[in-house]
Amino acid sequence: MKQPRAWQRMLSGRRLDLLDPTPVDVEIEDIAHGLAFVARWNGQTRGDWPYSVAEHSLLVEEIFVRANPGISAKWRLAAVLHDAPEYVIGDMISPVKAAVGPGYGELDQRLTAAVHLRFGLPAVLPSPIKKAIKAADKVSAWLEAVRIAGFREAEADKLFGRPAPELIHRLEIRLRPPAEVRADYVSTVARLLADC
């Protein structure tokens, strides 16, 4: 019996094996392109453009820096790349992840390790860094929920926790064309890599 195909051809020409991803097959242009076209909240957001995972990732890095002043470029890079596997597996909302079961998490871990190794990060982030990025991710989710996804603040507070005012002061939720977000994502990663 023929095995089902478990790889995807990337625009860079790379062939990424989803069951056994290697750092050699990971390119930032592929990640940025994919994430710029993946909509957060299953596309259920206000605005003329979908709110992309690439845009979300840039916001998470900004919040991460606010919450951790002086944090190194290496860990800032990890924050930008925190959802990188979604360039091939998409952004599943939490209820769908729960329904899919542990297989989703295992796939995400394999892809994350390959991405991290490709960009000089440890395959598995130190626990305090991972927790700090997750905290920034929750702040971003709260902002997105109340500003563009139709949640009431009380509802977002229950789901994500109310963020400290200084973390969200003057932060914007930007909705931009995918090409613009893609370019910003690539340049941010390049800048952080140069500073590592």
* pLDDT score, position 104: 82
Calculate the CA 109 to chain-centre distance. Answer: 13
CA dist., res. 113 & res. 49, Å (int)? 31
Question: Model confidence over 35-49: pLDDT tens digits?
Answer: 999 999 999 999 999
Question: Model confidence over 67-80: pLDDT tens digits?
Answer: 999 999 999 999 99
Is the confidence at residue 2, as pLDDT, over 80? no
CA dist., res. 80 & res. 105, Å (int)? 19
Pairing of strands 15-17, 7-9: antiparallel
Q: How confident is the model at residue 94 (pLDDT cuts 50, 70, 90)?
A: confident
Tokens at 190, concatenated: 């390049």
DSSP-derived 3-state class of residue 172: coil
H helix or E strand, kind and range, residue 9: strand 7-9
DSSP-derived 3-state class of residue 114: helix
Q: Are 161 and 138 in contact (CB under 8 A)?
A: yes
Which residues lie across from 52 on neighbouring strands?
A: 39
H helix or E strand, kind and range, residue 17: strand 15-17
Q: How confident is the model at residue 185 (pLDDT cuts 50, 70, 90)?
A: very high
Higher-confidence residue: 81 or 102? 81
Q: Percentage of the chain surpassing pLDDT 90?
A: 84
Is the confidence at residue 95, as pLDDT, over 80? no
Within 10 angstroms of residue 13's Cβ, the number of other Cβ atoms is: 8
Alpha-carbon torsion (153, 157, 160, 162), positive or negative = positive
Question: Model confidence over 139-170: pLDDT tens digits?
Answer: 999 999 999 999 999 999 999 999 999 999 99
